[in-house]
Structure formats: structure tokens, C-alpha cells
Copies of this chain bind each other. A is one copy, B any other.
Amino acid sequence: MAGKRTDARRKQHAQASVDDAAGQEARAEPTLARERIVVTAVELLDARGVAGLTMRELAERLGSGVMSLYWHVSNKEEVLDLALDLVLEPPHCVEFGNWREEVVHQLEDWRASMLRHPWSVSLLPRRALGPNLLSRLELLSRALSKAGVADADVNAAIWSLWNHPVGATITRVSFTLSDDDMAAGQRRLARGSDRYKAIEQSRLLLDNDWDGAFRKGIDFLLDGFARAK
């Protein structure tokens, strides 16, 4: 029956997971090492991408043994989760008088955070509910509450705004990611110009004013809300 289980030690930390410091009191002490691990992980990810994050490399950068990491972190996935959440920390709450500017600011900040750490985009599909993302959702929600959207539409409105940076950043990153893809895309466009007539004509793939398109997208949505009111 293997009575002596040593899991007592792991439990304490493992359960904390992505959750922020739990108790109501200022319990504090988020295990200094844990934060160091995550910060270093982000550096590594920035430098070498998702594939470059190895527990061994991480340990080496921290000057520790590999297995020491597992005291503070239950597995590699958790490191990724924590790194993702760290990078998506929301901005300090700046109040604009104008709710519209507030929404735009928030979404642009989010997008900028992701583009600063492109690996974060590919992690997003796995875990999209870290505490920092929840905070961003909250901020967005509050800003929009001043917009006077119809009650029945408000949730749909929030999600639409939410999804815009997600989609836009993914699209942006995967286009930038490899110029090979871009070249291949152009090649495909070149031949069979009947098949891809429209996007060839509008030079959609060549127009790389991503920032502008992103901003316009927000405006479309906000205008749409106004009309649906």
C-alpha cells in the first residue's frame, strides 16, 4: 500500500498552480525561487522560442540542478502557463474620460504585449484563463459598461472585442513567422491567378499595415455596437 507518500511536500506548491497568492491575509512569500524560474523561462522563450525552452537549459541558466526545478514547479507545462501569464500582465489602470479610447488602449496594449513575446501566441490556445487574462477581461468589461450597449448584446460585444486581438495577433505572427510561407503564398497567387483573383487584386497579402488594420477593426466593432443599440 505504499504508505509513506512524500507527496505532502509537492501538494502545497503544486496546487497553487497558476492561481495567484491565495489566502485573504497578506500571506506573501511567493517562493522567491518560483518567480526566478518563471522570469528566466521568459528570457529563454524570448531568446529561443517555445522549442528552445528545455528544463535542462532552464536549470543551467539558473545555476541549479535540473530536478531542483521540480520542487517549485510541478512540470514543464506549468512553467509555460506561468510564463504566459507573466507576460500578459495588464497595464496599470489608466482612466480616460472617453470609454472608447479606453477600449482601444486596452486592446492595443494587449496586442503589443503578445507581439513583444511572439511565443505567447502559440501558447494561448492551450490556456487562456490565467489570472492576468481574467483581469484584462474585467478591465475591458468595465470600460465597455460605459458604452451603453444593449443588455442582451453586452456579452457578445465583450467577446467580440476580446477575440479581435487574439485573432489579429495570431494572423500577424503566423504571417511574419516564416517568410517562406509568405513566398509560398505569393507563388500560389502567381499561378492560377483565377483561383486567387480577388486577394491578388486587392494586394491583401502585400499590404502590411497591420497596426492600421487592427485599429480599424476595433472601430468597426465599436461602430457596430452603436448601431445595434
A→B interface (CB under 8 Å): 15, 17-20, 22, 24, 121-122, 124-129, 131, 134-135, 137-138, 141-142, 145, 153-160, 162-168, 170-171, 173-175, 177, 180-182, 184-185, 187-189, 191-192, 195-199, 202-204, 207, 212-213, 216-217, 219-228
* B164 & A164 in contact (Cβ 8 Å cutoff): yes
Q: Is the CB of B138 within 8 A of A188?
A: no
In the assembled complex, how far is the CB of residue A138 from the closest CB belonging to chain B, in whole angstroms?
5
Q: How far is the CB of A194 from chain B (nearest CB, A)?
A: 10
Contact present for A184 and B125 (CB under 8 Å): no
Residues on the B chain within 8 Å of A125, using CB: 121-122, 124-125, 170, 173-174
Which residue from B121, B129, B167, B185 sits with its C-beta under 8 Å from A129? B185
| Given A198-B138, A227-B224, A128:B171 Cβ within 8 A | yes
Chain B residues whose CB sits within 8 angstroms of the CB of A155 once the complex forms: 202-204, 207, 213
Residues of B within 8 A of A165 (CB): 167
What residues on B are CB-neighbors of A182 within 8 Å? 129
Q: Please, which residue of chain B has its CB at the minimum distance from the CB of A182?
A: B129
Residues of B within 8 A of A166 (CB): 163, 166-167, 170-171
Q: Once the chains bind, are A204 and B126 in contact (CB under 8 Å)? A: no
Interchain CB contact under 8 A, A217 and B184: no
Knowing A167-B165, A227-B226 are in contact, say whether A217-B129 is a contact too (CB < 8 A).
no
Closest 5 CB pairs of A and B: A163-B167, A220-B224, A167-B167, A166-B167, A128-B174
A173: nearest chain-B partner, CB-CB:
B125
A223, B157: Cα distance in complex, Å = 13
Q: Are A213 and B156 closer than 8 Å at their CB atoms? A: yes
Some 11 contacts from A to B, beta carbons below 8 A apart, are A24-B191, A122-B126, A126-B174, A128-B171, A134-B185, A135-B196, A141-B204, A156-B212, A162-B167, A167-B167, A223-B228
Contact check, A129 vs B181: say whether CB atoms are below 8 A apart.
Answer: yes
Give the chain B neighbours of A163 by CB distance below 8 A. 163-164, 166-168, 170-171, 217
Q: Are A18 and B173 in contact (CB under 8 A)?
A: no
